[in-house]
Chain A
């Protein structure tokens, strides 16, 4: 079964750090671009970051640039999101997603992990 499972969410104080993980199974992880997308409950989807299949090229939304770092370990079939200098506005459910074609066609999503930034 093709599956993505996120972990690492939790409660963190403003200015703190957190690392999210996304474990992939059931497909050739190293062949696909991957994304992180977040959603404040009751609000819309917002793209956060992406990484190409070869691990060399990344992209970030302006709101997280310089604070978040996306990475992947193709040997471990795992995607990561290192989040530093967290702010209250980073509070959201974070989803990892597989991209079919390297565009905006995300065909497999994890169940989401909740990040709460609060003192």
Chain B
């Protein structure tokens, strides 16, 4: 069981905005930046957001990240069928002295 918690599933209709949540503690999200990853079945994860709200080159601006205290969120606007994937948050954990991943949220586009 991960020390960073994500709801196991979320869903939304095409065109809608969905928000995925990520809850941690003072040793990880509370004191370090958050990254978000997108993963399709049988493929490697892809970095979507780093430094809480920064998008790497090539990531659409439909994806946005935010952080407040020991929680973080990933918002996806204009939901598309191709967004159906697993999403993971991650942050450095000062107690672990390494990164910790959330358990992941499976996003279904209805």
Contacts and interface: CB of A to CB of B under 8 A. Distances in A.
Interface residues of B, number: 27
B44 A110 contact: yes
Interface residues of A, number: 24
Dominant secondary structure of chain A at its interface with chain B: strand
A16 to B, nearest CB: 25
Contact of B99 (A60, A95, A103): A103
Interface in A94-113: 95, 100-101, 103-107, 109-112
A44 interface: yes
A59 interface: yes
Nearest to A4: B44
B47 interface: yes
Contact of A106 (B35, B96, B100): B35
Listed from nearest, the 4 A-B pairs whose CB atoms lie closest are A104-B99, A105-B50, A109-B44, A104-B90
Given A101-B50, A104-B35, 10 more contacts: A44-B104, A45-B45, A45-B104, A47-B100, A59-B96, A100-B50, A104-B101, A105-B35, A109-B46, A112-B44
22 contacts: A35-B99, A44-B2, A44-B101, A44-B104, A45-B101, A47-B99, A47-B100, A47-B101, A59-B97, A59-B98, A60-B98, A61-B96, A101-B50, A103-B32, A103-B91, A104-B33, A104-B90, A104-B91, A104-B100, A105-B33, A105-B47, A106-B47
Interface of B: 2, 32-35, 37, 39, 44-47, 50-51, 56, 88, 90-92, 96-104
